[in-house]
Amino acid sequence: MFKEFILKKLMASKLKDVPEAEKAKIMKLMETNPDLLMKIAGEAQEKMKSGMSQMDAMMAVAKNHENELKEALK
């Protein structure tokens, strides 16, 4: 319970400049499939360690998991 609260607050602070509709989708995904988000975050961290920018790493990982993301956001 506490972990979920902290995650929601962290996500909200990281998404402050994201439009509300997109923010709602991401928050829903976090609630329904947190394992997918953790997997994506881990893969993005690995790509950033190899020298990719955060944006490039997230885009590459999101593209690799495109079908999973689409299914989770239905």
Checking if the pLDDT of 43 tops 80, the result is: yes
Here the tokens at position 10 are 């962290």
The pLDDT confidence band at residue 70, using thresholds 50, 70 and 90, is confident
pLDDT digits (tens, 9 = 90+) for 9-24: 877 787 888 888 888 8
Model confidence, pTM: 0.69
Question: 45-63: per-residue pLDDT in tens?
Answer: 999 999 999 889 989 999 9
Residue 62 · residue 73 · CB < 8 Å: no
